[in-house]
Amino acid sequence: MAKQESHIADSINRRFFVAVDYLVTMGRVHSLEVLCEKLGLHSPRYREMRLTYGITPNPKSKPSRYKNIEMDAIYFLCIEYSISAEWLMLGRGKMFKDETKRKI
């Protein structure tokens, strides 16, 4: 079961960095470092994780010591940037929530 859990966490980590990179590309977030600062996250942790789980992982780097994105970071992406929790956690549907269904 541990292997499956690792696969699940790896997939969530990858989708997190896909979302962050997309937000940066679209100009909604300046950089990963700025996002970490806004959230009060330890940016060296996320820079290291990005080398392992980012869109273009660096095969020459050592695997990240960190295995999971913090729940606060996941929550923040879903609330502040309308990232779909179902997409982020399960890989189902579209990256962004349908704004017409969003409750105000």
pLDDT of residue 64: 83
Mean per-residue pLDDT, 19-31: 95
**Single-letter code of the amino acid located at 79:** I
Q: Output the pTM of the full model.
A: 0.83
Selection from 12, 28, 7 nearest residue 88 by Cα: 12
Q: How far is CA 17 from CA 1, 29, 91, 100, 104, in A?
A: 25, 13, 13, 25, 27
| pLDDT tens digits for range 85-98 | 999 999 999 999 97
Average pLDDT of the chain, as a whole number: 86
Kindly give, in sequence order, each residue whose CB lies less than 8 Å from that of residue 102, ignoring residues fewer than 6 positions away: 82
pLDDT band at 73 (very low <50, low <70, confident <90, very high): very high
